[in-house]
Structure 1
C-alpha cells in the first residue's frame, strides 16, 4: 500500500489524465504519481513469542488464588488470571496455575 504524501490517504491505481499511462491517484486531493515500472515490496512481520503475548512468568506475579481441583495432581488450590484474548464482545479467558505442581492450563481444571 502506498499513501499520499500530502493528506496520508491510501493511493489507488487509476488513469493519468494527460496520458494513457496508469498512475497512483489520491481519492481526496489532486496528487498523482505516474507508474513507470512495477513496484513490489514485501515486509515479513516477526511473530511474537507466545510468552510475550500472554505475559510470560511475570504475568503470574500478584495473582489471586481460588479453590479448584488440578487435573494433573488433584490439588485443590490454584492461582488464576484472566485475559481478553478474543474480541471485546467475547468473555475473558481464565488461566489457572496449580499451587502444588505448577501445571498451567485454561481448560483442564474442573
Structure 2
C-alpha cells in the first residue's frame, strides 16, 4: 500500500493517514453490518458507504480529526426492511475499529435503504 501526503509535504500519490483511518472505520462498519445481515439470511443487493471527516484544531493549534460521520446505504428488497432492525441494534458494537476510535473521536453512524431518504 502506498501512503502519501498532499502537496507540499508529499505528492498525493496515495491516501494519507487521516483518509486511511476514515476508510478503516467505514469498511469495518460495512463488514460488521454485512456479516450480521448474512447471519440473518437477508439478501443484500449492495451497500454504499461514505465517511465524512471533520477537522479541528486543538488548544496548541494542531490539526486533529474532530469527528467522523458514516453513512451506509443498503440496497435491499422492500419486504426485508423490517428484518433489518435487529442487525441495526447490534452491528456497531462488533466493529473493532469504530469502537476503538470512538474512545477518542466522536463517530456517528446512520443507515438507510435505497427506499429511504438520508437523515
Query: What TM-score results when the alignment is normalised by the length of structure 1?
Result: 0.18
Looking at both structures, which has the greater relative contact order when contacts are Cα pairs under 8 Å and sequence separation is at least 6? 2
Q: Which has the higher helix share?
A: 2
Between Structure 1 and Structure 2, whose CA radius of gyration is higher?
1
